[in-house]
């Protein structure tokens, strides 16, 4: 599939934004949600900014962005519509949480309830995003459990690191320390999930072949005698995007290093070998590294996906 920049930004930004609210809810449940207004303002600005910016960018990939609102009416059958509905509904508890925390400076009682409800709905929203891709049987690379698991664990991972970086950036070492274990745990889980995903799509048995697509398998191996079209069309541009295996391997390594390995090392060194501003700098760099790595990971997620229609354009298996 063609990796559209708008969709890459959408999936990475909203995942981090929703993840941030999940871990703010955890801090609220623990009774250590910071009351500092500068922190709450910055955290809410980044969280809502990532979510709103991501959702708006997703409409740029539509042929008619001005009609995006119409998709909300198809929630009975469309995961895209369900995602839109959930995204809107999730703003309700998140906004109530934000008002109580930022303006009323409440960190207990109702604010905890709003935070937890918002966190749960945030994860449901991320799940509906994953199902937009996982529900497509015509794209085997996405139609598997690892797509859903990957979206959820990457959301929790990026959110944990971002929240931890914010806490240390504002000198909130107690809250930051409590996020150390969630950050390293989700980093490890996310790396395992991506490795299993890559293994699944490359080592798994092809679900469709040129023989099964044409129904001519009984006559032997099927090969393309001529292209169905004389020039490139929408199918080839959007669904026939190709990336060389050697380039995919390189990007996979880059994503693994920047998104998972380097943040894990930096957080470990920062927490156990450094202190003060050096620790804060290490954790902030870890968050930036994670964001860069996730962009490579998302790009590859789309680039490696093959639609079964490509079997009619020269692909031997999908």
CATH classification for the domain delimited by 5-221+231-313, as one of 1.20.140.10, 1.10.3720.10, 3.30.1490.100, 1.20.1630.10: 1.20.1630.10
Q: Tell me: the pLDDT tens digits for 18-35? A: 999 999 999 999 999 999
pTM of the entire predicted model:
0.89
Q: Lowest mean pLDDT: which of 83-87, 139-143, 196-200, 218-222? A: 218-222
pLDDT value at residue 58: 81
Inform me whether the pLDDT recorded for 80 exceeds 70. yes
**Ranges assigned E (strand) in 116-239:** none
Mean pLDDT of the region 289-296: 97
Inform me whether the pLDDT recorded for 157 exceeds 90. yes
Q: Tell me: the pLDDT tens digits for 192-243? A: 999 999 999 888 666 666 666 666 666 667 666 556 665 666 556 666 566 7
Ranges of each domain in the chain: 5-221+231-313
Q: With DSSP H G I counted as helix, E B as strand and the rest as coil, what are the percentages for the chain, rounded to 5? A: 75, 0, 25
Inform me whether the pLDDT recorded for 191 exceeds 90. yes
Contact criterion met (CB below 8 Å) for 159 and 284: no
**Among the listed residues 79, 73, 97, 135, the one whose alpha carbon sits nearest the alpha carbon of residue 18:** 97
């Amino acid at each position: 599939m063609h990796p559209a920049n708008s969709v890459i930004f959408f999936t990475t930004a909203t995942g981090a934004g929703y993840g941030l609210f999940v871990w703010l809810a955890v801090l609220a449940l623990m009774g250590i949600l910071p009351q500092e207004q500068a922190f709450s303002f910055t955290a809410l600005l980044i969280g809502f900014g990532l979510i709103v910016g991501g959702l708006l960018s997703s409409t740029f990939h539509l042929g008619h962005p001005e009609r995006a609102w119409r998709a909300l009416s198809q929630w009975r059958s469309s995961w895209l519509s369900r995602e839109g509905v959930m995204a809107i509904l999730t703003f309700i508890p998140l906004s109530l949480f934000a008002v109580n925390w930022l303006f009323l400076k409440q960190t207990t009682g109702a604010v905890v309830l709003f935070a937890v409800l918002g966190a749960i709905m945030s994860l449901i929203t991320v799940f509906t995003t994953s199902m937009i891709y996982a529900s497509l049987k015509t794209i085997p690379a996405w139609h598997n459990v690892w797509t859903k698991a990957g979206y959820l664990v990457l959301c929790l991972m990026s959110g944990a690191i971002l929240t931890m970086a914010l806490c240390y950036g504002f000198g909130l070492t107690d809250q930051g320390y409590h996020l150390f274990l969630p950050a390293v745990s989700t980093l490890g889980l996310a790396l395992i999930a991506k490795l299993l995903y890559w293994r699944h799509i490359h080592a798994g048995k092809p679900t469709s072949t040129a023989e099964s697509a044409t129904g001519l398998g009984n006559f032997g191996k099927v090969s393309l005698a001529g292209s169905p079209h004389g020039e490139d069309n929408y199918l080839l541009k959007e669904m026939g995007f190709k990336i060389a295996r050697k380039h995919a391997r390189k990007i996979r390594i880059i994503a693994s290093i920047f998104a998972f390995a380097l943040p894990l090392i930096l957080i470990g060194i920062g927490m156990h070998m450094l202190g003060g501003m050096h620790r804060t700098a290490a954790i902030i760099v870890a968050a930036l590294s994670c964001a860069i790595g996730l962009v490579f990971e998302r790009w590859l997620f789309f680039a490696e996906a093959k639609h079964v229609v490509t079997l009619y354009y020269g692909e031997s298996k999908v």
